[in-house]
Amino acid sequence: MKRRIPLIACTALLLAPTLHGQGYQPSQIGRKARGLYEQALGLAAEGDFRGSLSTTEKAIALESGFVEAWLTKAGLMGELRNFTAAVQSYERAFALDSLFCREYRLPYAINLGGAGRFAEALRALDGFLAFPDIEEGARKAAQYRRRCFQLGDSLAQHMASSGYVFDAKNLGDSVNTTFPEYYPSLTVDGRTLIFTRRLRGVDEDFLVAHQADSLWSQAQSLSGNINTNLNEGAQNISQDGEWLVFTGCNFPEGMGSCDLYMSYRTRQGSWSRPQNLGELVNTEAWESAPSLSPDKRFLFFASNRAGGMGGNDIWVSQRTANGTWGEPTNLGAPVNTPGNESCPFLHADGRTLYFTSDTHPGYGGDDLFVTHRGWNGTWDTVHNLGYPINTIGNEGSLIVAADGRTGYFASERTDSRGSLDLYSFQMRPGIAPKATTWVQGRVYDAKTRQGLPSSVELTDLAEGGLLHQVQTDEEGNYLITLPSNAAYGFHVRRKGYLFHSGSFPLLTSPATPFLLDIPLRPIEKDAVIELKNIYFPTGSSLLASSSTTELDLLVQLLTENPTLQVRIEGHTDDVGTTADNLALSQRRALAVVDYLASRQVRRERLSAQGYGASRPVALNQTVEGRARNRRTELRILGF
> Which H or E element spans position 346?
strand 341-346
CA-atom Rg of the chain in angstroms: 31
- pLDDT at position 8, please? 41
CA distance 264 to 275: 9
SS3 60: helix
216: left (phi over 0), alpha (psi -120 to 50) or beta: beta
For 123-128, the CB contacts below 8 A with 24+ separation are 125/149
Exposure string for 3-33, b = 16+ CB within 10 A, e = fewer: eebeebbbbbbeebeebeeeebeeeebeeeb
CA distance 635 to 595: 17
- pLDDT at position 155, please? 76
Domains of the chain (ranges; CATH) run 7-162 (1.25.40.10), 179-426 (2.120.10.30), 435-522 (2.60.40.1120), 524-639 (3.30.1330.60)
- pLDDT at position 365, please? 78
SS3 52: helix
> CB atoms < 10 A from the CB of 412, how many?
15
- pLDDT at position 143, please? 87
CA distance 472 to 442: 8
CA distance 77 to 67: 15
**Cα 398–403–407 angle (5° rounding)?**
20
Q: How distant is the alpha carbon of residue 40 from its chain centre? A: 41
Cross-strand bridge partners of residue 370: 354, 383
Those residues whose C-beta lies under 8 Å from the C-beta of residue 161, and which sit 6 or more positions away, are none
SS3 12: helix
In single-letter form, the type of residue at position 196 comes to T
CA distance 65 to 2: 31
Span between the terminal Cα atoms of the chain, in Å: 76
Q: Parallel, antiparallel, or unpaired for β 181-186 and 192-199?
A: antiparallel
Q: Parallel, antiparallel, or unpaired for β 486-493 and 455-460?
A: antiparallel
In single-letter form, the type of residue at position 592 comes to V
Q: Reduce the secondary structure of 204-220 to three states and give it as a string.
A: EEEEEEEEECCEECCCE
SS3 97: coil
- pLDDT at position 511, please? 64
CA distance 553 to 621: 33
The verdict on whether omega for the bond into residue 252 sits within 30 degrees of 0, i.e. cis, is no
CB 261 within 8 A of CB 242: no
- pLDDT at position 557, please? 94
In single-letter form, the type of residue at position 283 comes to T
Q: How distant is the alpha carbon of residue 496 from its chain centre? A: 37
CA distance 207 to 182: 11
| pLDDT less than 50: residues of the chain | 1-21
- What values do phi and psi take at 330, rounded to 5? -80, 135
- pLDDT at position 509, please? 67
- pLDDT at position 251, please? 86
